[in-house]
């Protein structure tokens, strides 16, 4: 019997329909010689610390680090029924086709299950990029050998074990240290979440510490040949900062008065440059999240959920958790089918379609730049727009627009810079004249990004030439102040996570990191941000996100090597090396375990926490903590036991300072 193992019930239903497995069974579909079943995400999970010993039920530094000699997993209670069904089917199967999501996590969902159930039969891999019938049939005709995708499992397993080692050990370590210092909350530390949080904390501190500087501008309205336009005064170099802003009020006031008293300004030079902008690439998940955050105001998790529904439910777009915006050259053959499906889906596109060049090959088609997944594009079959929600339709139109843009000309415009002289003062004007709309015609809101550009840069200038004289109109002196950086939005934070190499200042890390290395993956970044929001480390403030007080406490408490985004990016690079066979799972996990061990040892040496008298309630030893009225001895099993003993002045100890621990923390890798 050939068994198809899918990731979700909806996926199983789609594949079963194409295979002709029409008979619904218990947690599966049956057909002639085949069965299609499914997981419900991860059916099993890594065992918690207490599964390795009763002593780990209580949090204490003495029991750290927890380094499993033999890793354990256990069946998730919430999906135990489906696990039993899948296990029984695996026992009967002679041939297995893994049909989970085509990524690192999908590989792990299937392989960890096969390992726990002891499956020894033949294995093949179904690699799907879309769930419409045509795409499923195409993938079924080209199954991959098991060995080709096995490294994905090693990489996912390495990620899972590293997350466990860091999360379980360091969350306990710093929570216990926090309790000893009087902080009663749990300080949750994560391999990806903590450096992500550091990005927001650093930005918030930069905003808080920002000192605004006053500066002055002079805006001058000119006209010629019956058409007016805006210009800006250019301050002398000795009164301007590096950004060209005038810092001396009297200089700006005098310039404004001289310009007002003049009758005209004369053009000194006109420089026009033709700018050609290539179509944007199809979306990767992160670029889709950035654009949807900026243009539609969607949270990154909401964007992922919508993209997943367009893929799974509506069959309208391809696999969403892609890290690439490029397309394989083999998909050029599908262009006529995709375009015909789009027109059948939305006949209102007919005027635009008349301008498409179906033979055009943009930079998006590049085998060398396609990773395991290609850009998110429409599927080969018509979709039902009426069945989509308003938000889903908006996201779909963005995805569709970026695909259609590949068949339209470059967007071309003339950018003009004009230098003028007026009463011995310098003026400057810029203008923009669209020459070829090109791919902008495909965008549902082609002017959305341009809204951020100042109007005076988008103005259409009148015909100007050297020597042209322009009449002086309104002259406005403006008193302004430099502005602090803006808080992160979720979309901007995704962008920062993806391009973290640009933010790293450590020369050693910067040299090692690839420019493409980020923290987290396309599939996990939204979950990381959502988790920080759920735990209360991040707070929504309109579209912006800010760090909470607990976030500042956590970032200040842990060593820099844990919070440094560059450290986590190095780990992500190592996971990629496992995926390509350049590093082994054992080597990576061993280095993580050694680093965690060193960190715990440094903390233990730094604190030297004395034991107090026995707890009056349970007899356990006590540790010093600080309350509202001062220090006291608290049961080491706190908060499970809340026994306490008053402390004498002679029994007081020096508190651990986070600075001391941060100095002694080991470097990762």
What b-and-e string marks burial along 465-501, b requiring 16 or more CB atoms within 10 Å of the CB?
A: eeebebebeebebeeeeeeeeebbbbbbbbbbbbbbb
Measured distance CA(166)–CA(562) in Å, rounded: 9
**Strand 538-541 with 544-547, pairing:** antiparallel
What is the layout of strands, in order, in the sheet containing 2-6?
Answer: 23-25, 28-31, 34-38, 2-6, 95-99, 122-125, 144-145
Active site residue 58: no
499: enclosing H helix or E strand:
none
Using only the alpha carbons of the chain, give its radius of gyration: 31
> Secondary structure of 1-33 in the HEC alphabet?
CEEEEECCHHHHHHHHHHHCCCEEECCEEEECC
Query: Within its chain, how far is the Cα of 66 from the centroid?
Result: 30
Q: Which two tokens mark 50?
A: 């207490």
Residue 576: beta bridge partners?
Answer: none
Choice among 319, 403, 488, 537 that is catalytic: 319
Phi (first) and psi of residue 420, to 5 degrees: -135, 160
Measured distance CA(139)–CA(132) in Å, rounded: 11
SS3 helix, strand, coil % of the chain, rounded to 5?
Answer: 45, 20, 35
What b-and-e string marks burial along 245-272, b requiring 16 or more CB atoms within 10 Å of the CB?
A: bbeeeebbeebbebbeebeebebeebee
Measured distance CA(436)–CA(412) in Å, rounded: 5
Name the DSSP class of 376: B
Residue 470: beta bridge partners?
Answer: 265
Helix H segments across 209-278?
249-261
30: enclosing H helix or E strand:
strand 28-31
* Residue where the block lists tokens 């004369």: 266
How does DSSP assign 509-552, residue by residue? Answer: HHHHS-TT--SS-TTTHHHHHHHHHHTTSEEEETTEEEE-HHHH
**Among the listed residues 25, 144, 148, the one whose alpha carbon sits nearest the alpha carbon of residue 86:** 25
Measured distance CA(485)–CA(476) in Å, rounded: 26
Active site residues: 319
């Amino acid at each position: 019997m050939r068994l198809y193992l899918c990731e979700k019930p909806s996926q199983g239903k789609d594949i079963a329909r194409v295979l002709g497995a029409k008979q619904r069974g218990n947690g599966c579909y049956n057909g002639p010689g085949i069965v299609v079943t499914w997981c419900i995400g991860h059916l099993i999970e890594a065992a918690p610390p207490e599964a390795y010993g009763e002593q780990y039920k209580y949090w204490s530094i003495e029991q750290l680090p927890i380094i499993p000699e033999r890793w354990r997993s256990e069946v998730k209670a919430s999906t135990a029924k489906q696990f039993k069904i899948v296990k029984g089917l695996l026992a009967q199967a002679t041939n297995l086709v893994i049909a989970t999501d085509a990524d690192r996590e999908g590989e792990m969902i299937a392989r960890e299950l096969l390992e726990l159930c002891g499956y020894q039969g033949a294995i093949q891999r179904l690699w799907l990029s879309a769930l419409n019938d045509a795409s499923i049939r195409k993938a079924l005709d080209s199954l991959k050998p098991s060995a080709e995708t096995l490294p994905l499992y090693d990489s996912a397993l390495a990620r899972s074990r590293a997350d466990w080692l860091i999360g379980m050990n360091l969350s306990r370590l710093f929570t216990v240290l926090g309790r000893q210092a009087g902080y009663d909350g749990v300080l949750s530390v994560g391999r990806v979440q903590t450096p992500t949080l550091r990005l927001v904390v650093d930005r918030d501190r930069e905003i808080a510490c920002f000192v605004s500087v006053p500066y002055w501008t002079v805006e001058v309205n000119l006209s010629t040949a019956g058409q007016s336009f805006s210009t800006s005064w250019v301050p002398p170099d000795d009164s301007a900062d590096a950004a060209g802003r005038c810092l001396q009020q009297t200089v700006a006031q005098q310039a404004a008065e001289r310009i007002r008293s003049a009758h005209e300004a004369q053009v000194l030079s006109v420089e026009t440059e033709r700018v050609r902008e290539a179509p944007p690439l199809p979306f990767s998940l992160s670029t889709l999240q950035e654009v949807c955050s900026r243009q539609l105001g969607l949270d990154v998790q909401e964007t992922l959920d919508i993209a997943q529904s367009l893929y799974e439910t509506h069959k309208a777009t391809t696999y969403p958790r892609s890290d690439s915006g490029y397309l394989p050259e083999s998909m050029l053959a599908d262009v006529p089918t995709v375009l015909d499906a789009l027109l059948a889906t939305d006949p209102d596109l007919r005027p635009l379609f008349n301008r498409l060049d179906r033979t055009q090959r943009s930079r998006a088609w590049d085998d060398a730049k396609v990773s395991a997944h290609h850009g998110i594009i429409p599927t080969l079959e018509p979709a039902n727009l009426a069945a989509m929600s308003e938000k889903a339709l908006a996201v779909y139109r963005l995805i569709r627009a970026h695909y259609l843009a590949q068949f339209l000309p470059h967007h071309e415009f003339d950018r003009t810079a004009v230098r003028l002289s007026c009463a011995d003062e310098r003026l400057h004007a810029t203008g923009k004249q669209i020459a070829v709309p090109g791919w902008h015609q495909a965008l549902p809101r082609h002017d959305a990004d341009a809204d951020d550009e100042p109007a005076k840069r988008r103005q259409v200038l009148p015909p100007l030439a050297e020597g042209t004289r322009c009449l002086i109109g309104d002259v406005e002196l403006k008193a302004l102040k430099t502005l602090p950086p803006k808080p992160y939005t979720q979309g901007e934070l995704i962008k920062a996570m993806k391009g973290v190499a640009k933010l790293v200042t450590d020369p050693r890390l910067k040299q090692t990191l690839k420019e493409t290395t980020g923290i987290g993956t396309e599939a996990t970044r939204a979950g990381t941000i959502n988790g920080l929001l759920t735990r209360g480390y991040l707070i929504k403030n309109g579209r912006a996100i800010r760090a909470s007080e607990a976030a500042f406490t956590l970032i200040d408490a842990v060593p820099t090597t844990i919070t440094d985004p560059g450290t986590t990016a190095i780990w992500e690079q190592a996971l990629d090396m496992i995926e390509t066979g350049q590093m082994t799972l054992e080597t990576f996990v061993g280095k993580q375990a050694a680093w965690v061990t060193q960190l715990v040892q440094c903390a233990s040496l730094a604190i030297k926490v004395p034991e107090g008298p026995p707890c009056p309630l349970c007899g356990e030893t006590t540790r010093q903590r600080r309350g509202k009225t001062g220090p006291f001895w608290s049961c080491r099993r706190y908060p499970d036991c809340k026994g306490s003993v008053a402390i004498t002045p002679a029994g007081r100890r020096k508190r651990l300072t986070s600075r001391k621990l941060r100095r002694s923390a080991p470097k990762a890798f």
